[in-house]
Amino acid sequence: MRKLYPARSLLIWPTLPLDVYFRSNSVWKPFPLDQANCRVFSLARQAIWNTCAALGLHPNDTVLVPAYHHGSEIEALLQAGLQVRYYEVNQNLEPEPEELQSLMSTDVRALYIIHYLGFPQDAAFWRQWCDNRGILLIEDAAQALLATLNDKPVGSFGHMGVFCLYKTYGLPDGGAVIADFPPPRPTGQSNSGSWRVFKRHINWLATRRKELGYFHLMLKPIQTNLNRFWNRINKRIHKEFEVGDVSSPPTRMTKFLIPKIVDEKTADRRRENYRFLLKHLGDMVPAPFAFLPEGASPFAFPIEVNEPRDFLARLRLKGVMGLLFWLNPHPSLPVDEFPRSRLLREGVLALPVHQELSFENLQQIVDSVKEVQVNLAVPAIPAF
């Protein structure tokens, strides 16, 4: 194993500043939290599961879903008793109307689109497309809280819009849904969320203090490997897709922290950070993300590389904890029938872009990526 040198440790997940407890509650609420027909669960997948029934989707109804997906959203639909039929995304990561048309049959009741990495899809067009065929539009804005399309929030075009609060803010959990007919509020017991809050604080400190970042970088892979081992011995190989208890409300810490952490400037900060990275690393960015639309609220900064695992391992040694973006599809996907989605899964690395990053953090990302690119001629190192 290569020697680590002290470096700030940067994750793609937003961190939680220590001063958050002293902040006053914001009067501004982001969409959809400001809407009466919004419901908040612990996770977005639970929100999806509950809203399917509320919208009148019945067992064996079919939903057209993208082959390029996280996997948990697909699992939620299947657990709700629905059938999924996959479509391929085009070069802009949009569905192709002709392909969708060829997948239509009388049992198709909804189209599912994803606003990838906080970049808005043309949801207005897809709403019209669905209305013309009498089916529902489900907008997955899990990565796109705060994103807008023509000044309208994404997630507001569909019959259902679903969001992850913890992907945009350093919260322990939170999956919000807005729907024409929302489900009942979750009735389960709230967990405290303190341990995850503690970890988000540590992550915040590790982006600021090199000494802490150093330990963070050493401990993180151990934690990841222990989790993997634990899941394997418990035969939970698809744990990342599990829906869990569908009546789970958000944790008590999430409820307490939401009004303290939300900020009207968050999307601007993310766009600013994205633009900085685009300026320095733009030639590595996959085409659909190479231009930043005004209404985007980027969740991560994607780069395309030849040897993503090797690249990732080398970046980690420099303190940049990227993510192989959606490496594993849902097991129901016939992977070989969707070559573009497969290529995206195999080649796209996501880097941090969140609002808590400082200028030094962004510079560290740029320098690290450039150094790894130059050094790739050196023999590969094992992932730790």
Ligand X SMILES: Cc1ncc(COP(=O)(O)O)c(C=O)c1O
Question: Is 175 among the residues that bind ligand X (CB under 6 A)?
Answer: yes
Q: Which is nearer to ligand X, 44 or 303 (CB)?
A: 44
Q: Which is nearer to ligand X, 300 or 372 (CB)?
A: 300
Footprint of ligand X on residues 39-98 (CB under 6 A)? 43-45, 70, 72-73
CA separation for the pair 330, 70 (Å, rounded): 7
What is the CB-side half-sphere exposure of residue 204 using CA atoms within 13 A? 18
Give the nearest distance from C-beta 370 to ligand X in angstroms.
28
Give the nearest distance from C-beta 132 to ligand X in angstroms.
25
Question: Is 164 among the residues that bind ligand X (CB under 6 A)?
Answer: yes
CA separation for the pair 284, 131 (Å, rounded): 38
Stretch that binds ligand X, among 140-148, 229-237, 256-264, 272-280 (CB under 6 A): 140-148
3-class secondary structure, 138: strand
Q: Which is nearer to ligand X, 50 or 143 (CB)?
A: 143
Alpha helices in 247-301 (DSSP H): 252-261, 266-281
Give the nearest distance from C-beta 99 to ligand X in angstroms.
20
Q: What's the N-to-C CA distance of the chain in angstroms?
A: 7
CA separation for the pair 216, 93 (Å, rounded): 35
Q: Are 141 and 161 in contact (CB under 8 A)?
A: yes
Q: Which is nearer to ligand X, 143 or 355 (CB)?
A: 143
Which residues, other chains included, contact 121 with Cβ-Cβ below 8 Å and sequence gap of 6+? 93, 94, 113, 114, 115, 139, 149, 154
CA separation for the pair 288, 274 (Å, rounded): 14
Q: Which is nearer to ligand X, 162 or 320 (CB)?
A: 162
Give the nearest distance from C-beta 382 to ligand X in angstroms.
27
Q: Which is nearer to ligand X, 46 or 207 (CB)?
A: 46
Give the nearest distance from C-beta 359 to ligand X in angstroms.
28
Question: Is 251 among the residues that bind ligand X (CB under 6 A)?
Answer: no
Site string for ligand X, 181-210 (x = CB under 6 A): ------------------------------
Give the nearest distance from C-beta 44 to ligand X in angstroms.
3
Question: How far, rounded to the nearest angstrom, does the alpha carbon of residue 201 sit from its chain's CA centroid?
Answer: 20
Question: Is 348 among the residues that bind ligand X (CB under 6 A)?
Answer: no
Question: Is 140 among the residues that bind ligand X (CB under 6 A)?
Answer: yes
Token pair of 134 as six digits: 């009498």
Contacts 24+ apart (CB under 8 A), 280-286: 280/366, 280/370, 281/366, 281/369, 281/370, 284/369, 284/373, 286/344, 286/348
Give the nearest distance from C-beta 164 to ligand X in angstroms.
4
Out of 10, 114, 137, 277, which residue is the one contacting ligand X (CB under 6 A)? Answer: 114
Token pair of 218 as six digits: 């050493």
Size of the site for ligand X (CB under 6 A): 12
Q: Which is nearer to ligand X, 102 or 224 (CB)?
A: 224
3-class secondary structure, 47: helix
Beta bridge partners of 40: 176
Out of 123, 142, 362, 372, which residue is the one contacting ligand X (CB under 6 A)? Answer: 142
Q: Which is nearer to ligand X, 45 or 316 (CB)?
A: 45
Q: Which is nearer to ligand X, 168 or 368 (CB)?
A: 168
Question: Is 139 among the residues that bind ligand X (CB under 6 A)?
Answer: no
Give the nearest distance from C-beta 48 to ligand X in angstroms.
7
Q: Which is nearer to ligand X, 142 or 333 (CB)?
A: 142
Q: Is the dihedral of CA 231, 233, 238, 243 positive or negative?
A: negative
Question: Is 300 among the residues that bind ligand X (CB under 6 A)?
Answer: no
Which residues, other chains included, contact 263 with Cβ-Cβ below 8 Å and sequence gap of 6+? 26, 28, 355
Residues forming contacts to ligand X in the complex (CB under 6 A) are 43-45, 70, 72-73, 114, 140, 142-143, 164, 175
